[in-house]
A and B are shown apart, each in its own frame.
Chain A
């Protein structure tokens, strides 16, 4: 008898637990913010008793380094504004995580995306910020990067630049005083370095964005036109990759980096690539200014500067590539839009926010008034280069989803010897037409 009662109880427990599970789920479908707060409520019950209930918002971004000062922004927000931000940093596979959240109806109140294509993809989930007073703090031309039609879908967080980065010490050791501005000069420099026993290139070609997305961009932009114009020409067939002005130069350049690079480029990820440069295993790599914290961590005495990619044999074509890179958006379904905007405001314009963005991460903010100037080797180098030449935009901001990864695989296959030049051009064209037709 006892056994029977016990078994019935067990069945009941199993059953009830099942329905408890369902119950929670129903909640989350209707109201995205409620489940999250109910989870955290229990933890912070004691704290919240003292003050009145804080406004809770969720925030997702792809920041990945040194988050101590980030946390200070959070404390301050809670202290001064009574806003509690639930932050999630996703360094890997960010878009997948964001898309999953959106599909599940749990759109974070604040989310970070890239500029360009990303603006269009997430436009319907972005709150139109045109009429918010915070907009006045930002530079007008930077805001233009965040518009879809008349709608202001987000706020520009930072501008970033990428180009070749070289180790000044190794260049000095090899007796190179003039930085190369044409492809020929670049090859000469490589020969000189190699003669002195210094490997010229560190190639993180496991990453499709290193081998393809970032490196081909100046070669595309040097052909003329804005990213959007080039994209629409590629879509309607006016322009193709194999007939592009500097496409062959790009492949020559890739050949050069592989020939004069460290072994196993296709197995090297971005971190290894950066460390190799910092510790002096190689003299040049292609990367953006955001890598400075990693470089300094690997070698505190590292001394580096930018070297615009030589795209042809005309020195005027060698320019750095800069663009608004991250955009912060407020969800159109957010129940606490004001709190969300306030959180962005704190993050980008308060002193504690700038400790993280400008001082720690070396961001170049896009505000009309920036009290703290970033002070990094690479940021200074960008400013120096831009003082006497203009920059290229990033061609990839107008690319369809998946083209960076897919195109990168084609170039990787080219490096592995699986494809020849004519195949590379044809396959890039086909991939573009396939992905842009969606």
Chain B
């Protein structure tokens, strides 16, 4: 008997299984507790009419979802604004981060310093970033306007319809470029230098080395960066909350902000969770499409 147990215990297959379970279980439990169970509860709430406080929840079936798709104009306007921001953000953050990465990827003290200072804003909390830029766009720009007399700086950067998108963009770019730059630098550093040398010997100029060699090598980094940028852009919330409060008059409200207002200000928790499910599906579709497309690109190269 004991021999048998010993035999099982020393069995490599069994051992690796136990090891596997041991390693996966803590993470699984945490994930279950903090993300999967709340998600299931979310689905449950989305079928209810509930003010978020009361003990009474009324089952309304799919009515919440029907309302989103038939009569909630504001939700779709805010979705549109989020997409508008998303496109600007994804394009700008990747181009700027890649540009900086190409300038700074070679090792030197100066470059290290520059990298650190560009990365620094990423470590600051979003609310603080919002407050810093609130100060810059407010009193900061005002004094620039007073000194230089340029009219653009005296305008309402946080309250004029044609400017709010850009102030939100500038703030989120300033904060995030560092993170994306690091991913691109990692990609560039891991590139074998022999290939670039070979290209140089073959007489390729800077543009050709970039488009034909560096860019294809960066395809995995690009996948990650696009993915990160898209999810960040869709989930935009804190900066808007601090800078514009979704204003002027709801113009710069994002999807997440809309959900927050619905659940916590309007006290319509059930309806808010229904919206968050719709949002989840939107995010899912967009990111899956993006991952599929860029993965295909990676394979081709």
A residues apposed to B, CB below 8 Å: 11, 14-15, 18, 22, 93, 95-96, 99, 102-103, 121-122, 124-125, 206, 263-267, 401-402, 405-406, 409-419, 435, 438
Contacts of A122 in B (CB 8 A): 53
Q: Are B248 and A438 in contact (CB under 8 A)?
A: no
A405 vs B265: C-alpha distance in the bound complex, in angstroms?
A: 7
A17 vs B245: C-alpha distance in the bound complex, in angstroms?
A: 40
Q: Are A409 and B267 in contact (CB under 8 A)?
A: no
A206 vs B246: C-alpha distance in the bound complex, in angstroms?
A: 10
Q: Are B249 and A401 in contact (CB under 8 A)?
A: no
Partner of B53, one of A103, A263, A412, A418: A103
Contacts of B52 in A (CB 8 A): 99, 103
A103-B52, A103-B53 given as contacts; is B247 within 8 A of A14 (CB)? no
State the interface size on chain B (CB cutoff 8 A).
33
Q: Are B247 and A206 in contact (CB under 8 A)?
A: yes
Q: Are B267 and A401 in contact (CB under 8 A)?
A: yes
Q: Are B248 and A412 in contact (CB under 8 A)?
A: yes
Contacts of B250 in A (CB 8 A): 409-410, 412-413
Q: Are B247 and A266 in contact (CB under 8 A)?
A: yes
Q: Are A121 and B156 in contact (CB under 8 A)?
A: no
Contacts of B264 in A (CB 8 A): 93, 95-96, 99
B residues apposed to A, CB below 8 Å: 22-23, 25-26, 29-30, 33, 49, 51-55, 138, 154, 156, 158-161, 245-251, 261, 264-268
A99-B52, A401-B51, A435-B266 given as contacts; is B29 within 8 A of A410 (CB)? no
Q: Are A18 and B161 in contact (CB under 8 A)?
A: no
Q: Are A438 and B268 in contact (CB under 8 A)?
A: yes
Partner of A264, one of B30, B156, B245: B156
Report the minimal beta-carbon distance from A418 to chain B, rounded to whole angstroms: 5
A415 vs B33: C-alpha distance in the bound complex, in angstroms?
A: 46
Contacts of A406 in B (CB 8 A): 261, 265-266
Q: Are B159 and A418 in contact (CB under 8 A)?
A: no
Report the minimal beta-carbon distance from A228 to chain B, rounded to whole angstroms: 19
Q: Are A402 and B26 in contact (CB under 8 A)?
A: no
Q: Are A415 and B53 in contact (CB under 8 A)?
A: no
Report the minimal beta-carbon distance from A248 to chain B, rounded to whole angstroms: 19
Closest 10 CB pairs of A and B: A413-B249, A402-B266, A266-B159, A416-B248, A401-B267, A412-B249, A409-B250, A96-B264, A264-B156, A267-B159
Partner of B51, one of A93, A121, A125, A414: A121
Contacts of B266 in A (CB 8 A): 401-402, 405-406, 435, 438
Partner of A416, one of B30, B33, B246, B249: B249
Report the minimal beta-carbon distance from B41 to chain A, rounded to whole angstroms: 11
18 more CB-based (< 8 A) A-B contacts, given A402-B261, A416-B160: A93-B264, A95-B265, A102-B53, A124-B54, A125-B53, A265-B159, A266-B158, A267-B138, A267-B156, A401-B265, A401-B267, A409-B246, A409-B250, A411-B249, A413-B249, A418-B161, A418-B248, A438-B267
Report the minimal beta-carbon distance from A424 to chain B, rounded to whole angstroms: 10
Could you list 21 A-B pairs, sorted by A, with CB under 8 Å? A14-B26, A18-B29, A18-B30, A96-B264, A99-B264, A103-B52, A121-B54, A122-B53, A264-B138, A266-B158, A266-B159, A402-B261, A402-B265, A409-B250, A410-B250, A413-B250, A415-B249, A416-B159, A416-B251, A418-B249, A419-B249
Please, which residue of chain B has its CB at the minimum distance from the CB of A122?
B53
A102 vs B54: C-alpha distance in the bound complex, in angstroms?
A: 9
Contacts of B251 in A (CB 8 A): 413, 416, 418
Report the minimal beta-carbon distance from B134 to chain A, rounded to whole angstroms: 9
For chain A, what secondary structure do more than half of its interface residues adopt (helix, strand, loop), or is it mixed? Answer: helix
A239 vs B156: C-alpha distance in the bound complex, in angstroms?
A: 36
Q: Are A415 and B26 in contact (CB under 8 A)?
A: no
Partner of A412, one of B26, B49, B247: B247
Please, which residue of chain A has its CB at the minimum distance from the CB of B249?
A413
Please, which residue of chain B has its CB at the minimum distance from the CB of A417?
B161
Contacts of B246 in A (CB 8 A): 409
Report the minimal beta-carbon distance from B141 to chain A, rounded to whole angstroms: 10
Report the minimal beta-carbon distance from A331 to chain B, rounded to whole angstroms: 12
Q: Most chain-A CB neighbours within 10 Å: which of B22, B55, B154?
A: B22
Contacts of B22 in A (CB 8 A): 11
A414 vs B84: C-alpha distance in the bound complex, in angstroms?
A: 23
Please, which residue of chain A has its CB at the minimum distance from the CB of B157?
A267
A18-B29, A266-B247, A409-B250 given as contacts; is B54 within 8 A of A438 (CB)? no
Report the minimal beta-carbon distance from B285 to chain A, rounded to whole angstroms: 28
A142 vs B246: C-alpha distance in the bound complex, in angstroms?
A: 37
Q: Most chain-B CB neighbours within 10 Å: which of A22, A206, A265, A411?
A: A206
Please, which residue of chain A has its CB at the minimum distance from the CB of B247?
A412
Partner of B158, one of A11, A267, A418: A267
Q: Are A413 and B248 in contact (CB under 8 A)?
A: yes
Q: Are B53 and A409 in contact (CB under 8 A)?
A: no
Contacts of A22 in B (CB 8 A): 33
Contacts of B49 in A (CB 8 A): 438
Contacts of A411 in B (CB 8 A): 249
Report the minimal beta-carbon distance from A328 to chain B, rounded to whole angstroms: 18
A165 vs B281: C-alpha distance in the bound complex, in angstroms?
A: 50
Q: Are B265 and A415 in contact (CB under 8 A)?
A: no
Please, which residue of chain A has its CB at the minimum distance from the CB of B55?
A124
Contacts of A435 in B (CB 8 A): 266
A402-B265, A405-B261 given as contacts; is B51 within 8 A of A438 (CB)? yes
Please, which residue of chain A has its CB at the minimum distance from the CB of B262?
A402
Q: Are A99 and B249 in contact (CB under 8 A)?
A: no
Q: Most chain-A CB neighbours within 10 Å: which of B138, B154, B156, B247?
A: B247
Q: Are A402 and B267 in contact (CB under 8 A)?
A: yes
A435 vs B265: C-alpha distance in the bound complex, in angstroms?
A: 11
Please, which residue of chain A has its CB at the minimum distance from the CB of B54?
A124
Contacts of A264 in B (CB 8 A): 138, 156, 159
A411 vs B53: C-alpha distance in the bound complex, in angstroms?
A: 29
